[in-house]
Amino acid sequence: MNNKRDYTIESITDYIKALKEIKDVEKNELWFRGHNKASWYLVPTLYREDRCFETTDRYGTPISPKAKTFQLKGQEVRFPDQFLMLESFKEGIVENNLNPSYPMNDIEWLCFAQHYGVPTSLLDWSEDPMVGLFFAVDGITVINDGEDLNDEARIYVLNPSVYNEKYCNLRIVTEDGKTKGASEPFIITDDNYQVFVDYIKNDYNLPVCIKPNKIGYRMCRQSGNFMLFSSQIQPLDTYSSSAINEFMYTIHIPYKVITNFTSYLDVLNLNKSSIYGDNAPLDDIGQKVKEDGDRQIKAIVDTIKNSFMK
């Protein structure tokens, strides 16, 4: 344990004790996110290295595109257009007569599409610590003498109010005309959603924690909230340690004890059926949109690469 910001746990009892210690310190609501591997960055699917490519070096000089590594800062990057993918997702829903029961704004649509595999600039979090646990350990199979034994799963615990107040660039205009930083996650409404659409498009904005309407089974079951990124895509876990220690905790689960957790998932009703529900048509639409987006960025990257070969 390091200044009570890092916990290593070996049982569900340990997990609950760690949560209790954290909650005793943090008075605001907490969000949870689970990762199967220690090497996974806290970055949205739109910006992961299989679909996000550096096209300049950090000094702005054009280069032949290469997968984004997050080791250096300042490069220009290219990635699929999430709003083009969103329009394709909407069209697929209409074509399959799966229209939602009430109108949604574009931020709500992004949140909804994210849950069916469409790459977006949203990073999922949950208000439910057990959902965080599920995503951390589900599907891990450890070979006793394999290299994986040295890996670990992780659960990140975020204080979204502290993060928004100290780090997001979005400012609120008060009734007396003054501006101030956010002091809690932003609730998305039809009156303010365009502010967040515009926020995404500013390359210099840091992520902002948002709370959309819980639309559909998955978002409700997973108690889903989000961090909304602009194209300032520095992963959250690569901030300075002093910054991270202001708004986030990390709970480590060594692979050598992973069965202490996975053996209890069904008992806790934490399984793919309960977490995702059954919505194959929407999954199929999301998969097609994702594949189209990946082809879109591949064509762009290939064009730029070819220009370097002339």
Dump pLDDT digits (tens) for 59-94: 889 889 888 877 667 788 889 999 999 999 999 999
pLDDT band at 2 (very low <50, low <70, confident <90, very high): very low
Q: Is the dihedral of CA 52, 58, 62, 65 positive or negative?
A: negative
* pTM, rounded to two decimals: 0.92
Q: Secondary structure of the chain in the HEC alphabet?
A: CCCCCEEECCCHHHHHHHHHHHHHHCCCCCEEEEECCCCCCCCCHHHCCCCCEEEECCCCCEEEEEECCCCCCCCCEECCCHHHHHHHHHHHHHHCCCCCCCCCCHHHHHHHHHCCCCCCCEEEEECCHHHHHHHHHCCCCCCCCCHHHHCEEEEEEECHHHHHHHCCCCEEECCCCCEEECCCCEECCCCCHHHHHHHHCCCCCCCEEEECCCCHHHHHHCCEEEEECCCCCCCHHHCCHHHHHHHEEEEEEEHHHCHHHHCCCCCCCCCHHHHHCCCHHHHHHHHHHHHHHHHHHHHHHHHHHHHHCC
Cβ atoms within 10 A of the Cβ of 173, count?
A: 9
Pick the range with the lowest mean pLDDT from 20-24, 29-33, 47-51, 295-299.
Answer: 47-51
Dump pLDDT digits (tens) for 210-222: 999 998 899 999 9
Dump pLDDT digits (tens) for 235-283: 999 999 999 999 999 999 999 999 999 999 989 999 999 999 987 899 9
pLDDT band at 293 (very low <50, low <70, confident <90, very high): very high
Instruction: Please check whether residue 227 is in contact with residue 122, taking contact to mean a CB–CB distance below 8 angstroms.
Output: yes
Dump pLDDT digits (tens) for 122-176: 999 999 999 999 999 998 887 665 557 789 999 999 999 999 988 888 876 666 7
| Rounded distance between C-alpha atoms, residue 276 and residue 221, angstroms | 8
Nearest residue to 106 via CA among 233, 32, 222, 210: 210
Nearest residue to 252 via CA among 18, 13, 3: 18
Instruction: Please check whether residue 301 is in contact with residue 65, taking contact to mean a CB–CB distance below 8 angstroms.
Output: yes
Instruction: Please check whether residue 277 is in contact with residue 108, taking contact to mean a CB–CB distance below 8 angstroms.
Output: no
Cβ atoms within 10 A of the Cβ of 144, count?
A: 7
